[in-house]
Amino acid sequence: MESMEGNGGGRLVVTELSHIKELVKQLEGHLGGSGSPDLCKHLASQIFSVTERSIGMIRSGHFDGPRKRAAATGDLDPATPSPLSDVSDLPFKATKKRKMSTEKKRHQIRVSSTGGVENPPVDDGHSWRKYGQKEILGSKHPRGYYRCTHRNSQGCMATKQVQRTDQDATLFDVIYHGEHTCVQKAVAAGAGNTQPETDTNAAQSHLHHLSSGLTVKVEGLTATEQPPPPPQQQQQQGGSWNAMPPFCLSSPVSGLAPPEHNPFSAPSTPENSPATSGSNHPSVAAPFHQVAGDAAWRDAELQEVVSALVAATTTVQPATAAMDADFSLDGFEFDPAFTIDITSFFT
């Protein structure tokens, strides 16, 4: 495993994150007091810009380390083929069926279910039908194959593969293939959430429901969608991302996923989808940008975001220390079009 210090990029990212932390603290202070909305907006804008810069560093390769999946992934025995190896830099094998996959967008995220080994993570808002399961060489757990329920009715060719990690049975690797071309009518209607911008209670309720069972991990760093623990508790958790409060890393690929396609804006049918993630736009979504039209809610929303970011940046620090020694984002494949949709927090 290559240390991030190899090119110093890791340190730069850490510096940027520290900067974000400071800005968030300032913003939190203004929100708690009598700070003007303009000032808050300015700070938010700064946070966004620094965040963008950090992402840019990561994407431009200033920060090495990830992408060396096979060797880096702690889950995997280096002596055995990686079940995730097809997500590496190597081109997708050109099997007839795999050739189809190369023509699609592919995204992988790692998802954990707080429901334990027996309970797969919650749904991602799309309806999936399982069409196969296979034992994968070198993996303890079989891989499940899912396709969009609307494959026949709407010709939606989105598929996903879900597999428990060897190391942690509560962790799932979810690989998405293709994009949803279907309209998730049934799903949206079922939640009474077809108007996410107006039905704020429903949205929040639903999001709360989802958040109770969802953890997204990026190679060992988990962002658990749970209410932020008290500061002292965060300290006790020693910087683990398990202490992370709700936080959003939206990854709009090929055109932003509209709200109705937001993985957390639509209800889940756990039996349909044994693992969660952001549709074919893998996102670590947050309960923040659902009801932007409600000014009162937006204040609370902003407060929540700030608290989340403060806790995040606070807890990230110890983690980044560890990163210096052995940093990896192996479970996460950065998409070229990956962006952090932090602007949605503040709009």
Nearest to DNA of 57, 136 (CB atom): 136
| Alpha carbons 48 and 191: distance in angstroms, whole number | 32
Contact between 122 and 266 under an 8 Å Cβ cutoff? The reply is no
- Among residues 10, 66, 83, 120, which is the contact residue for DNA, using CB under 7 A? 83
CB of 151 to DNA, least distance (A): 8
- Shortest Å distance, C-beta 92 to DNA: 8
State the Cα–Cα distance between residues 305 and 143, nearest whole angstrom: 35
- Closer to DNA at the Cβ: 25 or 130? 130
Task: Return d(Cα 124, Cα 270) in angstroms, integer.
Answer: 9
Q: What three-state secondary structure class fits 107? A: strand
By rule CB under 7 A, what string of x and - marks binding of each residue 23-62 to DNA? Answer: ----------------------------------------
Q: How far is the CB of 3 from DNA (least distance, A)?
A: 30
Gyration radius from the chain CA atoms: 20
Question: Least distance (Å) from DNA to the CB of residue 138?
Answer: 6
As measured in angstroms, the least distance from the Cβ of 279 to DNA is: 16
Task: Kindly state the smallest distance separating residue 119's Cβ from DNA, in Å.
Answer: 13
Q: Which of 113, 114, 149, 222 binds DNA (CB under 7 A)?
A: 149
Q: E strand or H helix at 48, and its extent? A: helix 37-60
Q: Which two tokens stand for residue 263?
A: 């993985």
Which x/- pattern, by CB under 7 A, does the window 212-251 give for DNA? ----------------------------------------
x/- track of binding to DNA for residues 150-189 (CB under 7 A): ---------x-x---------------x------------
CA angle 126, 129, 134 (to 5 degrees): 125
Strand order through the sheet with 214-218: 128-134, 143-148, 159-164, 171-177, 106-113, 214-218, 221-224
Q: What residue type is 42 in one-letter code?
A: H
Which 129-148 positions form the footprint of DNA (CB under 7 A)? 129-138, 143-145, 147
Closer by beta carbon to DNA, 13 or else 275: 275
According to CB under 7 A, which one of 33, 34, 36, 94 is a site residue for DNA? 94
| Total residues at interface with DNA (CB under 7 A) | 34
Q: Which stretch binds DNA (CB under 7 A): 23-31, 89-97, 110-118, 336-344?
A: 89-97
Rounded to a whole number of angstroms, the minimum distance from the CB of residue 275 to DNA is: 12
Instruction: Tell which one of 51, 127, 211, 314 touches DNA (CB under 7 A).
Output: 127
DSSP state of 227: P
Question: CB within 8 A of 214, min separation 6: which ones?
Answer: 111, 112, 113, 114, 121, 122, 224, 225, 276
Per CB under 7 A, the list member of 95, 167, 195, 317 interacting with DNA is 95
Distance CA 120, CA 237 (A): 24
Stretch that binds DNA, among 88-96, 230-238, 254-262, 283-291 (CB under 7 A): 88-96
Strand 143-148 with 159-164, pairing: antiparallel
d(CA 110, CA 47): 26
What's the token pair of residue 292?
A: 């932007």
**Distance separating alpha carbons of residues 113 and 224, to the nearest angstrom:** 10
Residues numbered 257-286 forming contacts with DNA, rule: CB under 7 A: 271-272
* 73 contributes a contact to DNA by CB under 7 A: no
Residue with tokens 């890791």: 10
Terminal CA-CA length for the chain: 40
User: What residues line the site for DNA (CB under 7 A)?
Assistant: 81, 83, 86, 93-101, 127-138, 143-145, 147, 149, 159, 161, 177, 271-272
